[in-house]
Structures are given as C-alpha cells and as structure tokens.
A and B are shown apart, each in its own frame.
Chain A
Amino acid sequence: MEAAPMIEVRELTKRYPGRTAVNGISFTVGRGEVVGFLGPNGAGKSTTMRILSAFMPATSGTARVAGYDVFHEPDEVRRRIGYMPENNPLHLDMRVREYLKFRARLKGMGWGRSRERVDTVLQQCGLTDVQKRIIGQLSKGYRQRVGLADALIHEPDLIILDEPTIGLDPHQIRSVRALIQDLGRRHTVLLSTHILSEVEMTCSRVLILNRGEILAVDTPANLERNLGLDGQVVAEIAAPAQDLRDAFRDLQDLERFDLSPLDGGFYRVALTPRDGVDLRPVVFDIVGQRRWRLRELTRSRHTLEDIFVHLTRGRREEP
C-alpha cells in the first residue's frame, strides 16, 4: 500500500445531464509532489477534486488515493485527505478555535489529541491571535487560513485545495501562497487555480485542463522549453536605424527581428531566436564593439499564460 502513488486516476469521466464535466482523464501524482490543476472556469477542476475527496462518484473510470478506491473505500480516502472545497465554506457563526475543534471531532480525534492538533495548526497557520474571534468577522485572508488549518488538522497524507487564493487581495495571496509552499515540504498537495502565476510559483508540476480534458502535464519550466516559446531578447539601443538593421539582421540563430523607434534616439530591438538560444551575450558584444549606448537588455520568459493560450488556441469558449 505504501508504494502506491498518492493519486491514481484512470479514464475518469463525469457526466451531468446534458454536459460532460470530465472526459476520460488519467494522471498520477506521486508522494510529496505539489501539483497544480490549471484551467479556465468550467474546465472540470472542481469536479475532479470532488470525486477525489469522495464527495460524489464518477460516471466511469477509477480514482485511487493512497491505494484506496474513492468509490468503494470512501472513509479510508476521507481519513487521508484534507480537502478545502471551492469558496472555502466555514460555519461563520463559530469561533476559530471552536470550529477547528468541531472539525477535529468530526475527523475522529479524541479530546486530548484534538486539543493538541488545534494548537499546532493554529500556530502553523498564524491564527493563534485570532483563535477566539468569530469566523464571520475575520477578513477573507484569515478565513482562508482557517480553511487551510481545517484541511491540515488530521495530518492528512494528501491536501486538496480548490482555488485557495480566489478573492484575496495581493497581500493575502502572498501569505496564503507562502503557507501552501510550506505545506508542500511535508505533504502531497493538489491545488486548482485559474491564476497562471500561482502554479508557476507553488507547483512542481502542472496539469492543464480544458473542457474536461488534460491538455498537458509537465513542470512549468519544461512546458516553456518544449513549446519553444521562450527566449525573445529585447534591447533598447541608441543608434541609427540603418546601422542597427545591418548589425542584427544577419545574425546566426535569428528567427525574427523587429525594430521600433522610442524617445531620445533610442530604438527597441526585439530578437526572437531559433531553438531557445540565448542572444543576450551576442547583443552585448555588438553594442560594445560599436560603442552604442544601451539602456536595457532583457530576455523574456514566456509565461504559462502564453502556454495556456497556445494550447487552447482555436477552441471555442464555452457558452
């Protein structure tokens, strides 16, 4: 059992009347991984997570968590998962500590152990100071931490977080992300988001989901490389346009060359290389030899956003 992957999904399909939410997806998540589910709204992220947390069954296919089948052994699965549903539902009328104790009780913990665990997660999630406050009176960022604390309380092997940073302000997003990164050191984490920078920052692997199908599975870095999307170099140089053209047009490994005038005699030079070659040293040498003035030299990294647009190109948006 211990050797089984944390999550093993095979040919999973979920159909609602008139709509297929998840269409025959397969993937595995190993122990200790932090995996991001990335996709637009309605891609099937929440549905997959609900099936994994044994809230509802799949139409067909199988899903196993830590070797246990989510349909046939739901309680074994639930004991091993800390799940934070979409929109982080909490009993707003309860106090933080009271709520966590209640949740600990539901997850089968005894009196002494639940008290010990509540203290631990309160500290871990930075909630010790607000433990006596009513949840409904806390800011959204703190509520999110309460949700995370609940997901952690029974020391689950796997933590599933559905849109953990949605609706937070930038400060709160930062602190919640830091928490998730911290969790990733000790637990397997599966989180969903439609914010691309989020998976780049927190996840070791990305699953891109669109309209119920997996479009790509890889590390964020690999996705960029394999799709040949990275490496455009942008330089701002003060020189006559014709000289610039002569100097750069015939470079080796150059795919595209663009020139656009800027203020104060500067030009913006955009160079797209072949096969992701780094053109920065070449540009620097040219500029140095000719004693031109250079005020910027950057190499753009294509973001997951580009990858996502690239992968979903030509697919109609769902009504």
Chain B
Amino acid sequence: MRVFMALVRRELAGAFNALTGWVVMAATALLTGISIVDLVTKLSDRPTDSPVTELFYQSAYFWVILLVVSPVITMRTFAAEKSSGTYEALMTTPVGDWQVVLAKYTGSMLFFGLVWLPLFGVLLILRQVTGEVGLLDPGSTAGAFLGVMLIGSVYMALGCFASSMTRSQIIAAMVSFLLGIGLWILSLRPVSTNVGDGRWARLLDEMSLLRHMDDFARGILDSRHIVFHLTVTLLFLFLTQRVVESRRWK
C-alpha cells in the first residue's frame, strides 16, 4: 500500500510539474465556462424545469470536453516513462505489474476528478447570482458526478491501455482519442436513430454511454449501468496489465 501511494503521488506530481496538468485544467475550466454561458443564454430564451447540471451533461459540450481532455490526461502514464527510460528503472524495482497499472489509473482518475471541479464553482456562482436554489439539485448533482466519474473511469482505463502500447505520447493520445470517439459513436447510434428490435440493436442500446449519462444526470442510478462501466474499466486495465507483462514473455 505504501508503494502504491508513492506511485500515485508520483503520477499526480508528474502531471503538475510538467505543466500539462495546469494547461489541461485551465483548458477544461475555460471550455466548461463557455459551455455554461452558452447554455444559460439559451435557457433565457426557452426556460425549462431541468437543473443546469442535467442540461450540461446531456449536451454535446460535456462529450466534446470529455473526448478531448481524457487522452491528454492519460497519454503520459506509460509512454512518457518509456521514452525517458524511467520505465526501466521502475520495472527493475520489486514493484508488481498490477501495482503499477492500478497506480497509473488511480492517478489519472484523481486528476480527472480535479479537472471537473471548476464546473461546480461555476454552478455555485450561478446559483448565487440568480438566487435559484433548485439550480444545484443535490440528487441530480450527485448522480451526475457519479456518472462523470464512471464514464471517466472507462476513458482513463482505455487511455492507460493506449499509453502502455507505445513510447510516444502523441501516438498514445491519438489511439485513445480514436478508441474514445469510437465508443462515443457507437453510443450515438441508438440515440440519434430509431433502432429496431434486433438483438444487436438492443445490445447497442444497452451499451450506449449517452443513454447512461442521461439517466445519471437525472439522478437515476441504474445498477446495470454501473456494472457495465466497471466491467469495461476492468477489461481495459486487464489488457494494460497484459501489455506491461508482455515484456517478460519469451
């Protein structure tokens, strides 16, 4: 556990020492700010009863930010260490492969959580200014936050996997962006088109991240969704561990 904590701390410190961490946080804060301004402007034309969090997470803004920011967070994890050579120094200490993989994933998750904090700041300010108490409905806010973390978990695991396969951060970012956007397009289909009753159509429907997020943002916690996200996360972490271990295959 001590070793694990040291590794997680290194991950976070690495992100902030390298400046990319600050850039990512600033960029996300700016993007969420612009998105909220745009949402609020639209709201003043067409008022609705839904809380702003719900509107935000159901909008395309959230997805664009998620898809762009996730690869940048995870690209460092393995690729940077491989290209600088510190990976070799790390892997010749008595630290287990799983420990390394989980620490890198945990570091990414913590950072991902930090990145969304400015959004709550924005919402608080909005509540102060408008005097609307219903703006931050605790149920939907908590649901939305859990949803963001679950979807983020899938994207962080997928990004770690992409990063573990290469020594180039650019390639890692591109691969995880492609995988991420692929997952998103798959999710888009059941929402945008009218799906039939076929088995595949139903499967896609169940797997749709957008559907899941809709529910989360409304404060609905469907255990199927949670299990789905955790399973996909574990799948990618498992694949990452296999890649890390593969250097010891004969």
The 8 Å CB contact of A85, one of B17, B85, B248, is B85
| Complex interface residues of chain A between 180 and 201 (CB less than 8 A to chain B) | none
Count: A-B pairs, CB below 8 Å: 65
Q: How far is the CA of A110 from the CA of B6 in the complex (A)?
A: 11
Stretch in B31-39, B89-97, B138-146, B185-193 with 4+ CB within 8 Å of A? B89-97
List, in ascending order, chain A residues with CB within 8 A of B90's CB: 106
Stretch in B7-15, B106-114, B215-223, B234-242 with 4+ CB within 8 Å of A? B7-15
The 8 Å CB contact of A81, one of B7, B14, B86, B92, is B92
List, in ascending order, chain A residues with CB within 8 A of B199's CB: none
The 8 Å CB contact of A106, one of B3, B13, B248, B250, is B3
Q: Please, which residue of chain B has its CB at the minimum distance from the CB of A54?
A: B92
Output the least CB separation between B79 and chain A (Å): 14
Is B94 within 8 A of A85, CB to CB? Answer: no
Is A89 within 8 A of B84, CB to CB? Answer: yes
Max chain B C-beta neighbours (<10 A), residue from A56, A79, A105 = A105
- Is B46 an interface residue when CB atoms closer than 8 A count as contact? no
List, in ascending order, chain A residues with CB within 8 A of B2's CB: 105, 110
Q: Please, which residue of chain B has its CB at the minimum distance from the CB of A56?
A: B247
Q: How far is the CA of A83 from the CA of B92 in the complex (A)?
A: 7
- Is B18 an interface residue when CB atoms closer than 8 A count as contact? yes
Interface bits A74-118 vs B (CB < 8 Å: 1, else 0): 110011010101110111111000000011011110100000000
How many residues on the B side are at the interface (Cβ–Cβ under 8 A)? 25
- Is A212 an interface residue when CB atoms closer than 8 A count as contact? no
Is A105 within 8 A of B92, CB to CB? Answer: no
How many residues on the A side are at the interface (Cβ–Cβ under 8 A)? 30
Q: Please, which residue of chain A has its CB at the minimum distance from the CB of B7?
A: A106
List, in ascending order, chain A residues with CB within 8 A of B87's CB: 89
Max chain A C-beta neighbours (<10 A), residue from B10, B88, B248 = B88
The 8 Å CB contact of A57, one of B14, B85, B93, B250, is B250
List, in ascending order, chain B residues with CB within 8 A of A8's CB: none
| Complex interface residues of chain A between 42 and 80 (CB less than 8 A to chain B) | 50, 53-57, 59, 74-75, 78-79
List, in ascending order, chain A residues with CB within 8 A of B85's CB: 85-87, 89
Output the least CB separation between B35 and chain A (Å): 32
- Is A157 an interface residue when CB atoms closer than 8 A count as contact? no
List, in ascending order, chain B residues with CB within 8 A of A54's CB: 92
The 8 Å CB contact of A93, one of B17, B93, B250, is B17
21 A–B contacts from the bound complex (CB under 8 Å)? A55-B91, A55-B247, A56-B248, A57-B249, A78-B92, A81-B92, A83-B92, A86-B85, A87-B85, A90-B86, A90-B89, A92-B84, A93-B17, A93-B18, A94-B13, A94-B17, A103-B89, A103-B93, A106-B3, A106-B6, A107-B94
The 10 A-B pairs of least Cβ separation, nearest first, read A89-B85, A93-B17, A105-B6, A75-B94, A106-B93, A85-B88, A78-B94, A89-B86, A53-B92, A83-B92
Q: Which residues of A contact B (CB under 8 A)?
A: 50, 53-57, 59, 74-75, 78-79, 81, 83, 85-87, 89-94, 102-103, 105-108, 110, 150
